[in-house]
Amino acid sequence: MKVSALAENLRGSEIIKIAGEVNELKRQGQNVANLTIGDYDSNIYPIPDELKQDIVDAYAANQTNYPPADGVLALRESVSAFLKNRLGLNYKSNEILISGGSRPLIYSTYLAVVDEGDKVVFPAPSWNNNHYCDLLKAEGIMVQTRAENNFMPTADELRPHIKGAALLALCSPLNPTGTMFNKKDLEEICDMVIAENKTRTAGEKPLYFLYDQIYSQLTFGDNQHFDPVTLRPELRDYVIFIDGASKCFAATGVRVGWGFGPEGVINNMKAIVGHMGAWSPKAEQVAMAKYILDDAAVNAYLTKLKGSVQASLNALHNGFQSLKADGFQVDSIAPMGAIYLTVKLDYTGKKTPDGAVLKDSADINFYLIKEAKIAFVPFSAFGTDDSVTWFRASVGACTLQDIEDAMPRIKAALSKLV
């Protein structure tokens, strides 16, 4: 049957295709280390006990009707305090919007500031920006990044593309790489945005700056999270932040996200989220409002979560570095933030034991799924060319033991390639 041109041409999630292969092997009874999905296994990483009890209490108190369109006031006030306390960002409750996770916030940002045909600039690899451009019929400009800079974009790489653009979409710590902006690189990007906006007339739409920092609370070692408004306060009128509870509290299914930025843009996003019905459930909002003000509980939970995630990331990184030292054509970037490790498996052109040639990153991935019982996501799922042999490894759905057990299988599988 005939459907809309948008529906006919919209690309599906490449990650879901890989998950289908993994699920089929699991159905056959095989044990696969699934490092594909950007989520947590809630049996390995449960949400905070205090938050769980607060949610139960909120339902017991019958907090089950429609929430306000912009979110429960108590939660917006708590988010305001949380941002001030954790990040030094000063945003009032009327500059904050609550939604069912961060995804509706990203989409509503696009809908609020991007028109059909507008240019949207974003790095490759990055998560889902290409699909949001497809939904809006915007001109997506994917700026390829370099391993030498941890796949984070630089001002010099972005600058040729921002003239006349409606939106610059960046993320740090970055999904899919787990890498982060250093202060100097982000400052140079901020200065570039400021300079571009100074060229625009009063009646012209400015260059807006979407800054996704959903992983800002998950950083490791000496790595420090930076944001545009702290570095350059004059950007406050142009930056729309994407944030929330999903990743830092392993609460992906709780669906509480918060965006914040200039009041005028946030008000338009509020109307869009309202028409989509993409609210966060009221009981979860009431519970989150209470929980994030409990500094002791939050600190204790983050310390434990970060320790466990970092241990898994380090095990995977050290395993790949050991393979590299043994002469295998692999590499990895030391973990900096989020739940991701960037790994390289440079095996295009190699033959499998049955004589098949691995033509691209997808072939390498599916070979490892079948032969090593481990699954990654090629960067091609995030906007790079199929020939790029870097992959995202997400550790949230595996135990440390799962990862340690998988390394010998990877070594054995790669040893069979010729």
Question: Tokens representing 132?
Answer: 């949001």
Instruction: Return d(Cα 26, Cα 19) in angstroms, integer.
Output: 10
pLDDT per position as a tens digit, 316-374: 999 999 999 999 999 999 999 999 999 999 999 999 999 999 999 999 999 999 999 99
**For the chain, counts of helices (H) and of strands (E):** 14, 13
Cis, bond preceding 104 (omega within 30 deg of 0): no
Instruction: Return d(Cα 29, Cα 149) in angstroms, integer.
Output: 41
Question: Tokens representing 234?
Answer: 């004059």
CA 320 to mean position of chain CA atoms: 23
Query: Would you tell me how many other CB atoms lie within 10 Å of the CB of residue 212?
Result: 26
Q: Where are the beta strands (DSSP E) in 264-382?
A: 330-333, 340-345, 374-375, 377-378
Query: Would you tell me how many other CB atoms lie within 10 Å of the CB of residue 62?
Result: 9
Nearest to 136 by CA among 110, 158, 157, 160: 110
At 417 the pLDDT is: 98
Instruction: Return d(Cα 188, Cα 196) in angstroms, integer.
Output: 12
CATH of 49-294, one of 3.30.365.10, 3.30.70.2860, 3.40.640.10, 3.40.630.30: 3.40.640.10
Superfamily of domain 5-45+299-415 in CATH is: Aspartate Aminotransferase, domain 1 (3.90.1150.10)
Q: Residue written as tokens 């434990």?
A: 304
Question: Tokens representing 354?
Answer: 């049955």
At 24 the pLDDT is: 82
Nearest to 238 by CA among 227, 252, 254: 227
Cis, bond preceding 173 (omega within 30 deg of 0): yes
**Contact partners, residue 240, CB within 8 Å, separation at least 6:** 109, 113, 208, 209, 210, 211, 259, 260, 261, 262, 265, 266, 269
Q: For the sheet containing 167-171, what is the strand order?
A: 96-99, 257-260, 239-244, 208-212, 167-171, 119-124, 139-144
Q: Which residues pair with 33 in a beta bridge?
A: 374
What is the reported pTM?
0.96
**Amino acid (one-letter) located at 133:** C
Within 13 A of 22's CA, how many CA atoms are on the CB side? 21
Q: Given a cut of 90, is residue 12 above it in pLDDT?
A: no
Contact in structure between 250 and 40 (CB atoms under 8 Å): yes
Q: Residue written as tokens 């019958």?
A: 62
pLDDT band at 105 (very low <50, low <70, confident <90, very high): very high
Residue ranges, comma separated, of all CATH 3.40.640.10 domains in the chain are 49-294
At 18 the pLDDT is: 81
Nearest to 18 by CA among 414, 393, 409: 393
Instruction: Return d(Cα 417, Cα 410) in angstroms, integer.
Output: 11
At 23 the pLDDT is: 79
Query: Would you tell me how many other CB atoms lie within 10 Å of the CB of residue 261?
Result: 27
At 266 the pLDDT is: 98
Q: Given a cut of 80, is residue 397 above it in pLDDT?
A: yes
Contact in structure between 158 and 113 (CB atoms under 8 Å): no
CA 113 to mean position of chain CA atoms: 21
Residue ranges, comma separated, of all CATH 3.90.1150.10 domains in the chain are 5-45+299-415
pLDDT per position as a tens digit, 31-52: 889 999 899 999 999 999 999 9
Contact in structure between 164 and 119 (CB atoms under 8 Å): yes
Q: Is 39 exposed, middle or buried (0-12, 13-18, 19+ CB in 10 A)?
A: middle
Contact in structure between 365 and 377 (CB atoms under 8 Å): yes
**Contact partners, residue 374, CB within 8 Å, separation at least 6:** 32, 33, 35, 368, 406, 409, 410
Instruction: Return d(Cα 114, Cα 119) in angstroms, integer.
Output: 8
DSSP one-letter code for 95: G
Q: Residue written as tokens 């699920």?
A: 23
At 30 the pLDDT is: 82
pLDDT per position as a tens digit, 243-297: 999 999 999 999 999 999 999 999 999 999 999 999 999 999 999 999 999 999 9
Instruction: Return d(Cα 163, Cα 193) in angstroms, integer.
Output: 10
